[in-house]
A and B are shown apart, each in its own frame.
Chain A
Amino acid sequence: MKGILGKKVGMTQIFDERGDVIPVTVIEAGPCFVVQKRTKERDGYRGIQLGFEEVKPKRLNKGQLGHLRKNNMPPLRYLREIRISEKDEYEEGQKITVGIFTVGERVDVVGVSKGRGFAGTVKRHGFNRQPKTHGQSDRERAPGSIGSTTTPGRVYKGKRMAGHMGNARVTAQNLQVVMVDPERNLLAVKGAVPGARGGLVIIKEARKQG
């Protein structure tokens, strides 16, 4: 398993060799550092903690600085963990760049979706709207019936209703890598990626290939 942290730059489009237009999301990924290793013996699983985006030392507290100083790492804004398999070998302090990915490869991209606040059923679950006319009033975006009557006398668990939407961890699976630019630390994947521009994303090898 390989992975890298990045920042969503935005979407654009590029032409492929046939002249077709492909919608792409551009991600500024890396350079990342392996800040710490998680081992079977000590932590019960294998993984690496990745750090991304250098900041001024005063942006971090002393605990964070001390943690990073252990391997002479610069002050980093983000720390995120990824799991690695038995055969993957990483060294603490190792630098990871976008060069680990190649064009055509499939990746999963994890991000935090845009928050929509308290959203109704039409926006949140794609419910249909009700008629504006024919004697209706105030029912246009109402959910309709939410269940039967005395039997069962309650609303079933999991009934889709209004509530908080977005601002949750979302994974976009199996996106194709369209461009890798190690010089500018840029990566482009086909299609959309969760989150707002400038949001942190984790790019990992796709779990479900093909």
Chain B
Amino acid sequence: MTDLLKSMERVEPNPAIPPLRPGDTVRVHVRIIEGDRERVQPFQGTVMRIRGGGINTTFTVRRIASHGIGVERTFLLHSPRLEKIEVLRHAHARRAQLYYLRGRRGKAARLREKRVQSQE
């Protein structure tokens, strides 16, 4: 029974979606549909959390917009509306949810960079 549901939720690995970790700096290219026109809008920030499983996986990206306003956007990881995700930088994160970033600004909100060998 549950296996049947699991098989429904199995998701094809999407080449446009690299594996994400909390703390990564990413640029998410989102397809926006306005009427019958379509355009791609990038959103760049830090991955604050990844939650859910299967097709319901979501991740939240936080960025500081103009005037120091924090903006968080949550995306469905497997949404066809995501054109692609670029990972610009990995960081050393000691927890799965980086909610503490909300209380910090400027230099205090930095994360230590983690250099990783590319998988190829």
Binding site for B on A (CB under 8 A): 7, 9-10, 12-15, 18-19, 21, 26, 28, 184, 186, 188, 197-198
Q: List 25 A-B contacts (CB under 8 A).
A: A9-B1, A9-B4, A9-B5, A9-B8, A10-B1, A12-B8, A12-B54, A12-B55, A12-B56, A13-B55, A13-B56, A15-B78, A18-B33, A19-B31, A19-B33, A21-B76, A26-B5, A26-B8, A28-B4, A184-B4, A184-B7, A186-B4, A186-B8, A188-B8, A198-B1
Q: Mark B55-81, 1 if CB is under 8 A from A, else 0.
A: 110000000000000000000101111
Instruction: Assess the B8–A19 pair: CB atoms within 8 A.
Output: no
CB closest residue in chain B, given A16? B80
Residues of A within 8 A of B9 (CB): 12
Residues of B within 8 A of A197 (CB): 1
CB closest residue in chain B, given A24? B8
Instruction: Assess the A10–B5 pair: CB atoms within 8 A.
Output: yes
Residues of B within 8 A of A18 (CB): 33
Residues of A within 8 A of B56 (CB): 12-13
Chain B, range 1-33, C-beta contacts under 8 Å to A: 1-2, 4-5, 7-9, 31, 33
Beyond the given pairs A13-B55, A19-B31, 4 more chain A to chain B contacts, judged by CB atoms under 8 angstroms and listed by A's residue number, are A9-B1, A12-B56, A15-B79, A19-B79
Please give the number of chain B residues whose Cβ is less than 8 angstroms from any Cβ of chain A in the complex: 17
Distance between Cα atoms of A58 and B5 in the complex (Å): 29
CB closest residue in chain A, given B56? A13
Distance between Cα atoms of A198 and B2 in the complex (Å): 10
Distance between Cα atoms of A18 and B76 in the complex (Å): 14
Residues of B within 8 A of A21 (CB): 76, 79
Question: Distance (Å) between the CB of B3 and the closest chain A CB?
Answer: 10
CB closest residue in chain A, given B76? A21
Question: Distance (Å) between the CB of B49 and the closest chain A CB?
Answer: 19
Distance between Cα atoms of A14 and B4 in the complex (Å): 15
Residues of B within 8 A of A186 (CB): 4, 8
Instruction: Assess the A19–B81 pair: CB atoms within 8 A.
Output: yes
Instruction: Assess the B81–A12 pair: CB atoms within 8 A.
Output: no
Residues of B within 8 A of A188 (CB): 8
Beyond A13-B56, A186-B8, whether A19 also contacts B80 by CB under 8 A is: yes
Name the 7 nearest CB pairs between A and B, nearest first. A19-B81, A10-B5, A19-B80, A9-B4, A9-B5, A12-B9, A15-B80
